[in-house]
Amino acid sequence: MRRLAAAAIAFTISCAALADSSLGATTLKIGTLAPPDSPWGQVFKVWKRAVSERSAGAIDLQFFWNGQQGDDRAMVAKIRTGQLDGATLAGAGLGEIDRQVLVLQLPGLFREWNKLDTARNDMRAGFDASFDRQGFKVLGWGDIGRAHSMSKGFAVRTPADVKHRRTFYLPGDPIAPVVFSLIGDVTPRQVSVPEILPGLTAGTIDLMTVPPLAAEQLQWASRLDTIGDDVAGIGIGALVFSSARYRAVPADAQQIIADTGRIAGAALTTRIRAEDDAALGRLQARMTHYRLTAAEQAEWEKLFVETAKRLRGAVFDAAIFDEAVRHK
C-alpha cells in the first residue's frame, strides 16, 4: 500500500512538473507590422504553434503585432540592443541591415515572381552571409507583394503625372528619392509606416506605389480611389533573428526554429502571392483602374533605366547590381 501511495505521489509530481514546464519556457520576442488576423499574421500564428509543439513548450514565440515595437527600422535597432529577438521585416528593415538586398526591389527590374525567385535563390548565400556578419540570421525570405500605383482623384500614366503630387518615401529608402529627383517638381515627405494612414486621412499623401495586399491590410486603400494595373516592382521581406540570441538557445531548439522558420517562409511565399493577386482584384473592382499604353510604359522604362544608372556603383555594389540585372 505504501509503495502504491508513493508511486501515486511520484506520478502526481511528474504530471505537475510537465504541466508547469511552460513556466520555464524560453520566450523569443518578435516584432511585426502585420495585423494578427492578416494573412501574414495567420502564418505567424501557425509558426508559433509549431515551435511550441515541437519543442514541447520549451520555446515560445511572442509576437508584437501592428507595429507595437515601431516601424521596420525601429525593430532592427531593438534587435541590435536586445530588446527584440527577431522581427518580420519588409524592404525598409532589410535595407537597414544591408541595403544591397534592396537591389531586388529596383523599379522595373522584376515584375514576375519566377524571375525574382531565380535571382534571390542565386544571390541568397551572399545576402545571408552579409546579414550574419552584422549579427542577424535570416530564417526565411518572403514577399510583401507586387507594387502598383494607387492614388486619389487622378491616374498616374506617365512620370509627369507624379509632379506636384503629395507622395512620400520611407526612411532609409535609397531608391525612391532618386526616382523623384529625376522626375522633378516632386517634394516627397519622409514618413514612417505608422504615419502613412494619418497622412492619407489628412490629405497630405495622395499617391503611393505599394502591393495591393499591404494597402488593403494596413487600411491605406480605403483612402484611395484609383489604381494602375501595371506592376512597378516587387516588395520583398524576411524573417530575421538576432544571431547571438539564436545561438544562445540549445542546439535542438535552434533546429526546430530553423526548420519551422523555413516552412513558414515557404508558406508565406505561396499564400502571400495568391492573397496579393486576390487583393488586386478586389481593389480593381471598387476603384477606377487603368492599363498603360506601350508609349506610357516606354516613358517609365526610360526613367527606371536612368534610376538604375544613378544607383549602380553609388548605392549598390556594381557586382551585386549586375548579378541582379542578369536575371531580368
User: What is the value of pTM for the model shown?
Assistant: 0.88
Convert the pLDDT of each residue in 177-217 to its tens digit.
999 999 999 999 999 999 999 999 999 999 999 999 999 99
| 290 and 149 Cβ atoms separated by less than 8 Å | no
Convert the pLDDT of each residue in 272-287 to its tens digit.
999 999 999 999 999 9
Q: Would you place residue 24 in the very low, low, confident or very high pLDDT band (cuts 50, 70, 90)?
A: low
Convert the pLDDT of each residue in 237-268 to its tens digit.
999 999 999 999 999 999 999 999 888 888 88
| Domain 24-326: CATH architecture, name and number where available | 3-Layer(aba) Sandwich (3.40)
**Over residues 52-56, mean pLDDT:** 95
Convert the pLDDT of each residue in 131-152 to its tens digit.
999 999 999 888 899 999 999 9
Q: Which pLDDT score, from 0 to 100, does residue 9 have? A: 29
Q: Which pLDDT score, from 0 to 100, does residue 222 have? A: 97
Residues forming a β-bridge with 140: 239
Cβ count within 10 A of residue 290: 17
Cell 517609365 found at: 300
